[in-house]
Structure 1
Amino acid sequence: MNKAILQGAVEVPYVRRSPDSTTAWLGQAFEALLAQEGLSADRIDGLGVASFTLKPDRCVDLSWRLGLQLSWFMDDANGGVSGINLLQHAVAAIECGLARNIVLLAGDSFQPADFQDLVANYNRTTQTLLRPLRIANPNSLFALLTQRHMAQHGLERSDYGQLVRAQRRHASRNPQALYRGDMTLDDYLSAPLVADPLGIFDCVPVVSGANALLIRHVDELRPGQPGVRVKAMQTCHNVDQQEGDGLSTGLARIQGRLFDQAGLRPHDIDLISVYDDYPVMSLVQLQDLGFVTGSMQHFLRETVAEDRLAINTSGGQLSAGQAGTAGGMHGLVEVVRQLTGRCGTRSQPNARTAIVSGYGMVEYRYGMCANAVILETTP
């Protein structure tokens, strides 16, 4: 993975409600990325798209609307793993000589009916097993998982609030985060319950928006241009995950290979971005990846509460919002911007390495797949 360089990253500011189509959002992200990097569309020969609501169109339809001539293209609608999944294939395409300048796009525009249709018909299992029980929404499933997690680790609701509030502190310095206002522990605890023990601040807000990444062959960059290199990537499809208790993901299985491939260990990582649709899943992933040392209580009440780790420095989806499949690219965009010095006054000083994880495709019980990538700045 020495030829592929992540050069640019863009997030079109999310909005709570939007009359614009998914095609329009993805087009905005594409144009903003090219404008930022000073490229013309005729230089782009690869396109990857992740979206739930672009249907019935696909990547090839969008490429025609954007006026692109492609030698590589790919669709992905695997939710929270889609961003890293697309990146994995894009890097392979560049390494194999199939393309030299690839843009990855992810995004969705939701009307209320669109989101209800998505959660009720997420996949065949949801249709046949969950919808008849009238619990075909992730809040109910992850409320039960949070109860189990609380019991296993001896946690209180306030402990989850430490993570939510830490991310809101990051969001307060991110002008693109949708929710940036100060949040006290009382604010968190007194918020309306959605599904006990989940309050409104524990549930990722559904928004509309789009993200974009540019991956280039190293020879396409001008000398001195900032870039980010992939050190390691691993994916795990959790065939047996549905039989477990949900308190571990496929990241636990691939964690050793991931860090061995990168030649690093968790203490070498400067920035951490984990997929955060619910606080419990952030904590499960952080533990699977080796960042929780000691008890979970200690980790939340000291490490997280005192901002000893740079976790989800954009504010994460819990503060920035989840624009459908853009949530699977949100963390990638954030760390690429951080590592290339494009976060202004909220930049993490001297950050050179980062890890991003994805978790997605909820089946009858839990997420079906997980992936992670370790990135570093180029010399």
Structure 2
Amino acid sequence: MEFQYYLPVNLIFGREKVNRLGETASLYGKKALIVTGRNSTKKTGLLDRATDSLKKAGIETVLFDKVEQNPLTSTACQGAALSRASGCDVVVGIGGGSAMDSAKAIAFLSKNEGDISDYIFGKKVSDQALPIVLVPTTCGTGSEGNGFAVLSNPENHDKKSLRCNAIVPKASIIDPELMTTMPRHILASVGFDALCHNMEAFISRIGQPMTDILSAEGIRLLGKYLIRAYTDPADLDAWDHISWGSTLGGMVIHTAGVTAPHGMEHPASGLHNIVHGGGLAALTPAVYEESISGAPEKFALISRSLGGKNETDCVDQIRHLLAQLHLSTHLGEQGIQNGDIDWMVENCMKVSAAGIANHPVVFDREALRNIYRKAL
């Protein structure tokens, strides 16, 4: 048995831990670029709380609040320009996965010249970025626990992640109480995304003992507590567990990667800007129906964690969970058309080749095309 596991992030987990933002960020800089979305952190008052905490710790702040649902490479460039012009020396990302991924990309571009797509596709490499502190407000992407930043290129619709240890956050403050302001439909979407991260890392061909342990626990936690939080938003114990399950999902994909469901979803949301969790909800059952034979023991564990018996009812359990979350859907309902399938297949092989190769059953183009049709 040989493996390597390296993930240099300080995880600060617990209720009211957001109050430690100022003291935490002060370890890394004196002038912070706050990266967030356009509305939610303002409506909840979190942006004001965060700014006050930073200022009390002696940190100047500059606000960048332009992040969209599926963050764009052009938005990251705009944020980095502001960071450089303002002389920021630390980046604080506050919000969901889009805000956190944008914060990472901005921190990277603040220290590196050129087209970020060249770094995303490995034409250029760098191990430099401004230090990053993250505060997630959704329990979905797990971006607080890895070195990935998923971005969409508005010019060619490529949706792919920048990946390097330089953008692993120096610290992430995971405060489950911040998650409780999410609308239920957002919780359903991001919660299923978190489950998918854990499931995909668990079945990945490049998984290893540490990721197997962590992802199995993430699947268990989300399988047990996601519906509880969805049904009763006042259940803080459930929020604790699904927040941790989400972070685990982010951690394991840093090492084991994602597989075919994410690989096939990125072309769909890159092309039509659909909600990521909705795309996964449409694709995951269709993908897994063609995948059980590649890792039956692992699909059996997934099924049991979701209330099933073995690998034969794994897909049924996933569909049942989606129904409980009112997230049963098809790609066609989200604007994907039959005429998009050939483009998505080719784009999948371009942007998601690693995820397709790491899946327990490796799909060729015709298999991908058939799965897209089933999910349509």
TM-score for the superposition, normalised by structure 1: 0.30
TM-score for the superposition, normalised by structure 2: 0.30
Q: Per residue, is there more helix in 1 or in 2?
A: 2
Q: Per residue, is there more strand in 1 or in 2?
A: 1
**Higher RCO structure, 1 or 2 (CA under 8 Å, sep 6+):** 1
